[in-house]
Structure 1
Amino acid sequence: MRKVIIVDDNHLSVEGIYKNIDWKSLNSEVAYMFYDSQSVIDAVKSANIDLIISDIEMPIISGLEMSKQILKFNPNIKIILISAFDKFEYAREAIRVGVYDYIEKPIDYNYLSTIINNAFVQLEKEKRNRKILNESRPLMISKFFSELIHLNTDEAKYNLSKYPDYLNIDLNSKYFLTLNFKITNSKTLKNDLGIEKYHISLIDLGDHIKSAFSKFQLYHLLIERDDIITIIGGNYPNGNYLLNKVHDILNSFMEHYKSDIFELNIGIGSVIDSFWNMKISYDNSCKALEYNFFFPQKNIFDIHDIVRKNNVNNSVYLYAKEDKLIQLIYKKDLNSIKNWIQDFYEEILINCNNKYLIFNNIYSILSNVLKLLYNMSINTNDIENIIVNTYSNLSTICNSSEIINWLFDIFKIICNRLDESIKNQHEYLCNNVITYIQDNYSKKDLSLNEIALYVNVSPAYLSALFKKQIGENISAIITNIRIENACKLLENTNLSLKEISEKVGYVNQYYFSSCFKKKMNKNPSIYRQGI
């Protein structure tokens, strides 16, 4: 039976509502009748109340203020406010506060009875919907984490920041990490086992993973296609502590989890110190798995081992010959690269008596070159596919010239890819310069040094690169943009020449007029008259 509170500082109004509503037919009862708001606030904190019928105008605490406090404490309670004042602002404020409905005095008890019944119907709907929502909570949590690992930081914060409290997700860890368990034989298993048995086995594998990692402060497991993604977090002295702990658990897991079904590779993403950066860790766990080709003897791939945060120009390579190769690739000196391959091949022939050992040495070189490209954010998927296809068909390679030509073709692709990347970087830098000038042309002291500082290169380098890329000096671009904007002001405003010269960044109008005439072949006054 529904519990109701009636409150009004007028005793007769309370009695009138109590006596003129058929509470039994509404499957309800009046639990309390009060004459002040504070008594209602105290009552709802200790009793299960479904509906409050309240006067809006009461001393000390008004019905509106009482509603605000109660709905903050229990947003599921329905409140009907009553007032003798025919003022729209009361109704508008009541709706804004979140009360169920609003009626005016004198009270039409039949109408009030209808409103009460509607409130109870709404309560039943909301109760049913809350039940459905609570039952779907596990799916909501999985959807939350799935979106988290696929959205960048700003998108994740904007779209998901209100959910952790509602879903009881603990974000108080200092460090976070994403693991990616990839089923490498999934296609074969789906054919052999059938889809249903495959997924049942996948769930069983997930249970084993959960058992290994569920003691972390934050833990969640997602199954996405043929990947089991594990998100963990904890309060540790530093990120390396978390990483070492993960390695210990993974090594133990791979040692003790014996499966006649699944072949597993595990990618370890980067340690992050912000929950909302989870996409970075996830993306790196996927990237780590791509290095399975270069380390086929391994099952666990840690992005921290593969990607070193050294500047590319300062990278340290294991062999002097590799240093030489990298220099030739930077120079895109194809003839010297071909000679390098020939020398390298002749050297490894001395120590290797079969082509499989030769290819082991070659893939060690390729591994470091691809790491270089990866550190430069250059996509290497097509190159990796060429390498994988060749290694899968070593038996078809019959002589040394085929190996030399194959390796040369790969390095030629790498040189082209590096050249494209450098061109893109140069184009991006020059576009940044032009955008900065467009945003700051009105500054009288805008200079090459300031722009170079903004794009983080030396003034001399920027000046030479910009001239080569754009075909004009930076000073000419500044002038062009200033004169272009001056033309707009001359065409569309009545500003004086002095005002216009100041707005487009010139120290005085005479120098402005001189620059304008040089660019437009007429002085500003003549230009304005000719419009």
Structure 2
Amino acid sequence: MYKIMIVDDNHLSIEGIYNRINWQQLNAQVTHKVYDGKMSLEILKSEAIDLIISDIEMPQLDGLSLAKEALTIHPNIKIILISAFDKFEYAKQAIRLGAFDYVEKPLNYEYLEQILKKALNSLANEQKNLAILKHSKPLMIDNFFFELLNSTCEEAKYSLDNYPNYLNLELNYRYFQTIIVRVENAKEIKDRIGVEKYHVSLMSISDKIKESLKDDFFMVHILSNFNELIVIIGHNYSSSKYFHKRATEIFTDLSSTLHTQIFEVHIGIGNVVKYLWNLALSYEDASKALEYCFFFPQKEIFDIRDTIGKGLPQEFYQTQHEEELIQLICKKDLDALEEWMNQLARELLANYRTKQLVFIQIYTLLGRLLKFLYEMDIDSKNIEKEIIEVYSKIDAFNNSSEIFKWFNKICKLACEKMNASIKTYHDRTCASVISYVKEHYNDANLSLNNIADYVNVSSSHLSALFKKNSGTNISDIITSVRIDAACQLLTNTTIPLKEISEKSVILTNTISVPVSKRKQAKHLPSIVRNTP
């Protein structure tokens, strides 16, 4: 039953509301009749009230001030304000403060009862939703961390700042870190034992990880993302180095335990960050570290510190050198490519001291090259095959020069592919031009622009491309095709010369026609050779 408080300094007003409303039908009970606004606040501090009906005009504490204070104490309480003054400003202030509604005196009790019914229905819905919300708090906590891991520092602080207190999360630690445990054979396990049992097994792994971490880290939260577990830890260790070292030791021990189960896992360890709002950086590092399991599947743990050279900016192998390589491949400048390769070798060897790390950087560049060839619709199957074969026998390289010699070979092969692809494209374009001319030679409006539109290139580019590829101009081709058509008509038909002239549309003088065609054109009547 809902608890109702009526507040008014007028005794008769309170009694009128108390006696004229059917409270039982509303499933409500008037528990307090209060004649002083300040007294009502004292009651609210010690007792939960569902709805307040209050007069606005009261001494000491008016109804608007009462509403403001009451909502601070109980944010979900419903408040209906009453006033004898016909002032719309009161209604606006009441709603702005968060009151449910505003009713004018003299009271229409039937109308007031309708307002009360709406207010209590609204309260019932809110209480139902609040119960659902409280029940789903674990899910909200997961959503909080998912959002945190996928937001920038500024975005996270702006949109999530209020949630730790609401969710009762203790996050005031000196350092934080993210570790990803990825199940590589997830599909195989799901197919074999079913989705439900797979996730039960995954939860068991999560429990094992929590148990292993609880004595060393104050905060441990694990997110399950279908095929991976995202582990978020926090502590107040004196240094980030010790934090990272301890986490790595625990997960190194865990990896051997997990591999004795049905799961095949790879573990990516991100950097330690100093602030909660920077956790996305650690998550990004852990994800990036896991990328290297493609290169070294025999390993189980991938630490971000081992995958990025200490003296080399992280962007080194992601942007600058990738674009330089693509530009050189496009230019097909083998001398410049070799010079660039030598410079790359010097930079890599100065910053990476192991064969595996050097090879990883080269693999990253080759991945970008393959993506470029794919986007250009260039067949790169043999290049892919070569890369896969070499990857499987990386230990066959005895020194760094052999690795770069092989890399140079792949790049030259890509240049050859580019050359072959461009020549094929040019040949196809020129063949399309000739085919189009043969189909439309009798069109008086046939021109370079028409043909360029058909093959979808600019007229200037098409003119130069055709000349370079075939050694002749498009206008000569048009004339040649028209003369051929006229000769065929003269030889094989009895069509009148004037009609042949119209069908052939010979618009150029034979002076501009190639010699072989000029000899044919010499035997044509002038009306055909020089038709305007």
- For 1:390, the equivalent position in structure 2 comes to 389
1:369-419 CA-to-partner distances (Å, cap 9, x unmatched) read 645998xxx795667987872256559x9xxxx98864433576999xxxx
- For 1:117, the equivalent position in structure 2 comes to 117
Higher mean Cα deviation, 261-270 or 380-389? 380-389
Alpha carbons 1:370, 1:380 under 8 Å: kept = no
* 2:29 matches 1:5: no
Distance 1:74 1:121 in 2: 18
Residue 308 of structure 1 and its aligned partner are, at CA, apart by 4.2
Distance 2:367 2:92 in 1: 61
* 2:357 matches 1:367: yes
The aligned amino acid for 1:367 is L
1:273-304 CA-to-partner distances (Å, cap 9, x unmatched) read 12222221111101111223555553222112
- For 2:184, the equivalent position in structure 1 comes to 184
- For 1:27, the equivalent position in structure 2 comes to 27
Distance 1:390 1:42, change over 3 A: same
Higher mean Cα deviation, 176-185 or 7-16? 7-16
Matches within 5 A, 1:62-141: 62-141=62-141
- For 2:464, the equivalent position in structure 1 comes to none
The aligned amino acid for 1:160 is L
Distance 1:387 1:266 in 2: 29
Q: Secondary structure at the residue paired with 2:262? A: coil
Matches within 5 A, 1:443-458: none
Alpha carbons 2:258, 2:265 under 8 Å: kept = no
Alpha carbons 1:7, 1:37 under 8 Å: kept = yes
Matches within 5 A, 1:347-358: none
- For 2:233, the equivalent position in structure 1 comes to 232
Matches within 5 A, 1:118-517: 118-214=118-214, 216-257=217-258, 259-293=260-294, 295-311=296-312, 334=338, 364-365=354-355, 367-368=357-358, 370-371=360-361, 380=367, 389-391=388-390, 394=393, 406-410=406-410
Gaps of 5+ in 1: 316-330, 342-361, 416-531
Distance 1:5 1:220, change over 3 A: same
Residue 334 of structure 1 and its aligned partner are, at CA, apart by 1.5
Residue 211 of structure 1 and its aligned partner are, at CA, apart by 2.3
Distance 1:386 1:160, change over 3 A: farther
Counting matched residue pairs gives 374
Residue 45 of structure 1 and its aligned partner are, at CA, apart by 1.4
Higher mean Cα deviation, 13-22 or 103-112? 13-22
Q: Secondary structure at the residue paired with 1:208? A: helix
The aligned amino acid for 1:254 is S
TM superposition score normalised by structure 1: 0.62
Alpha carbons 2:270, 2:289 under 8 Å: kept = yes
1:394-448 CA-to-partner distances (Å, cap 9, x unmatched) read 59x9xxxx98864433576999xxxxxxxxxxxxxxxxxxxxxxxxxxxxxxxxx
Percent identity reads 42
Alpha carbons 1:175, 1:239 under 8 Å: kept = yes
TM superposition score normalised by structure 2: 0.62
Distance 1:247 1:57 in 2: 67
1:62-120 CA-to-partner distances (Å, cap 9, x unmatched) read 11111111111111111111011111111111111111111011111121122122222
The aligned amino acid for 1:368 is V
Q: Secondary structure at the residue paired with 2:178? A: strand
- For 1:17, the equivalent position in structure 2 comes to 17
Gaps of 5+ in 2: 317-334, 346-351, 372-383, 397-401, 416-532
Alpha carbons 1:236, 1:242 under 8 Å: kept = yes
Distance 1:413 1:82, change over 3 A: farther
Distance 1:16 1:2, change over 3 A: same
Q: Secondary structure at the residue paired with 2:143? A: helix
Q: Name which one, 1 or 2, has greater alpha-carbon Rg.
A: 2
Q: Secondary structure at the residue paired with 1:18? A: helix
Distance 1:5 1:17 in 2: 11
Alpha carbons 1:51, 1:77 under 8 Å: kept = yes
1:121-143 CA-to-partner distances (Å, cap 9, x unmatched) read 11111111111222222222222
1:130-172 CA-to-partner distances (Å, cap 9, x unmatched) read 1122222222222222222122223323333332222222231
The aligned amino acid for 2:388 is N
Q: Secondary structure at the residue paired with 1:267? A: strand
Distance 1:404 1:308, change over 3 A: closer
Distance 2:5 2:294 in 1: 71
Residue 337 of structure 1 and its aligned partner are, at CA, apart by 5.9
* 2:54 matches 1:43: no
Alpha carbons 1:178, 1:285 under 8 Å: kept = yes
Distance 1:337 1:255, change over 3 A: closer
